[in-house]
Amino acid sequence: MSDFKFEIALKPAGQGLLWALWTISEKKASGVLTIEWERFRKQMIFRRGEPIATKSNWPQETFGQFLVRAGRFEAQQIQAELKKKDEAVSKVPLGEWLLQGGLLQPMEVFEFLSKHFQERLFNLIALSHGSLKFQSMPEDQLTQVDASQLPEPFRKLLWNAVKQLFTDAVSKGKLSAYLLRKGYVVKEFPFPLSAQELRVWNQLKTEQAVSSLQGLSLQFFAAATEFDLVEWMKSDEEKLFSDVKDLAEKFSKLQLHEILGLEIDSNTDLVKKSYLELVKKYHPDRLPSQHTSEAKKISEAVFAKINEAYSVMMDPIKREEYRAKLELAKTGGTESLNESLEAELLIPQAKMALRRRHFAQALELYKKIQTVLSEDGEILSDLVYCELMAMVEAKGDFKSKIAPWREQLKAAFKANSSYADNLYYRGLLWKFEGQEDKALSDFDKALDMNPKLADAASEARLLRMRKEKKGSGFFKKS
């Protein structure tokens, strides 16, 4: 497989590290798999489908920190030995240094190195952002690599890692786009299964509601999405929501009488009949409670337009005024489309793209919305965040834009001081500037306003962990 290669942008419900590791093993490929996320980078080297070495700039993955996590040494002991090693200008690996100093026994060194290698291979298996890239290499270029050993067959360890790391929370995160869906698995699972696991897999070949799955069943579904082994079906509620979204797009291009499916001169009996049919089918209360607020907003915007059409067509005076506007519009005297409604209908789409981290798409939508809702603090805040993250994804130089963005967020907060996301976005700007104390303060303020703001909670937790680890020397060079 000298020409085998691939490149993947990671996302929750798609091919990920699990698929990549299995595929390299299946094709018995030799080469380098590169994983990039945030500012970190890891490389895994393979020979004939078997991993033989890893390299990482992630401070948590050093051998010294692994020994601390394993409970074999205290952090202070590792730091002291690293200091002695530096003073001795020793280039030997830390494991060999500890062995020479009598702090580890030979069998311990082998055992810990093997477990450390195993951890570095699998600890990012649930990663849902960043990128993967594999480039094959001739085997003769890998002869100088100091090969590490695994205690058991690679694929067995890989499947065990899935069962350990694909917790219910992680699996639901990977399946977030399908939590309201039903589906069933097809074909056979690519890993060897025990008799009990095989029974569970075969049970999943019948229709399953994702929201009802847990444990191994949920892990199977999450893993199967990476191998495209799940057939998904739309529920009745999703079909309804899909119809409502289509209707919203259609309504943005229709006149009021056309929304009711009538001619402008239709009698009031036909108006009532058409209105009641639309109400029965598209009333917002027909959407189930688990649908998102964006779905509710779309449905409410559609229903508001139906009510407006009914109100105008039932009132003789309003209908005549409406008729006059249409006639005037034919001569170019007024806009024929309701720009405000069109912008309101775009907001749920923009929010959905933002939540799914499709920042370029969200940015395009928010720019359109902002031309109409130019003083909306929430829209202005989200627009700054989209611009920031779109540039981060594109690896552009955004540092010079941070100060203007901060001023825009300040103005947006004045327009809407109850939007907690604004403070979360401001915290991100401080974080990118390296001012972690100010970032943490803004993340905490955002959580005070909205305790359910998961992104702010995650960032605050990471910053506190980083501060604690810095205080204990956790991130120092090993």
CA distance 166 to 173: 10
Query: In the prediction, which pLDDT does 86 show?
Result: 92
Range of the domain at 84: 5-160
- Same domain, residue pair 63 and 146: yes
pTM above 0.85, yes or no: no
Q: Is the pLDDT of residue 474 over 50?
A: no
282 Cβ partners below 8 Å, 6+ apart? 243, 244, 247, 299, 302, 303, 306
- Same domain, residue pair 407 and 311: no
Give the end of a domain, one of 128, 160, 192: 160
Query: In the prediction, which pLDDT does 399 show?
Result: 86
Evaluate whether residue 476 is within a structural domain: no
**Mean of per-residue pLDDT scores for the chain:** 87
Q: Is the pLDDT of residue 470 over 50?
A: yes
Q: Is the pLDDT of residue 472 over 90?
A: no
Q: Are residues 45 and 32 in contact, defined by beta-carbon separation less than 8 angstroms?
A: yes
- Same domain, residue pair 178 and 280: no
Region 391-402 average pLDDT: 87
Q: Report which of residues 397 and 425 the model is more confident about.
A: 425
Q: Report which of residues 245 and 215 the model is more confident about.
A: 215
- Same domain, residue pair 192 and 154: no
- Same domain, residue pair 240 and 229: no
Region 272-293 average pLDDT: 76
pLDDT in tens, 136-166: 998 888 777 777 888 889 999 999 999 999 9
Q: Report which of residues 142 and 227 the model is more confident about.
A: 227
Q: Report which of residues 338 and 204 the model is more confident about.
A: 204
- Same domain, residue pair 10 and 125: yes
State both tokens at 320. Answer: 């005549």
Q: Are residues 147 and 198 in contact, defined by beta-carbon separation less than 8 angstroms?
A: no
Work out the pLDDT band at 411, boundaries 50, 70, 90. Answer: very high
Query: In the prediction, which pLDDT does 336 show?
Result: 41
Please report, rounded to a whole number, the percentage of residues in the chain having pLDDT higher than 70: 92
Write the CATH number for 351.
1.25.40.10
Q: Are residues 282 and 309 in contact, defined by beta-carbon separation less than 8 angstroms?
A: no
Region 176-192 average pLDDT: 89
Q: Which of 131, 122, 111, 140 is nearest to 47 (CA)?
A: 140
Work out the pLDDT band at 289, boundaries 50, 70, 90. Answer: low
Evaluate whether residue 38 is within a structural domain: yes
> Which H or E element spans position 67?
helix 63-69
Query: In the prediction, which pLDDT does 228 show?
Result: 92
- Same domain, residue pair 17 and 121: yes
Query: In the prediction, which pLDDT does 337 show?
Result: 46
Evaluate whether residue 353 is within a structural domain: yes
CA distance 306 to 405: 39
Work out the pLDDT band at 476, boundaries 50, 70, 90. Answer: very low
Among 286-290, 399-403, 407-411, 423-427, the least confident range: 286-290
Query: In the prediction, which pLDDT does 467 show?
Result: 83
Q: Which of 437, 412, 433 is nearest to 423 (CA)?
A: 412
Query: In the prediction, which pLDDT does 147 show?
Result: 79
- Same domain, residue pair 10 and 139: yes
Query: In the prediction, which pLDDT does 33 show?
Result: 95
CA distance 72 to 200: 38
pLDDT in tens, 339-388: 666 777 888 888 898 888 898 898 999 998 888 888 899 999 999 999 99
* DSSP-assigned beta bridge partners for residue 208: 183
Q: Is the pLDDT of residue 211 over 70?
A: yes
- Same domain, residue pair 436 and 404: yes
Q: Is residue 122 exposed (0-12), middle (13-18) or buried (19+ Cβ within 10 Å)?
A: buried
Please report, rounded to a whole number, the percentage of residues in the chain having pLDDT higher than 90: 52
Evaluate whether residue 477 is within a structural domain: no
Query: In the prediction, which pLDDT does 238 show?
Result: 67
Query: In the prediction, which pLDDT does 237 show?
Result: 65
Work out the pLDDT band at 333, boundaries 50, 70, 90. Answer: very low
- Same domain, residue pair 179 and 301: no
Q: Which parts of 356-435 fold into alpha helices (H)?
A: 359-372, 377-393, 402-415, 420-432
For 185, which DSSP code?
A: E
- Same domain, residue pair 59 and 190: no
- Same domain, residue pair 122 and 21: yes
- DSSP three-state, residue 391: helix
Query: In the prediction, which pLDDT does 2 show?
Result: 60
Q: Is the pLDDT of residue 300 over 60?
A: yes
Evaluate whether residue 113 is within a structural domain: yes
Write the CATH number for 259.
1.10.287.110
State both tokens at 348. Answer: 């749920």
Number of domains in the chain: 4
Give the end of a domain, one of 216, 233, 250: 233
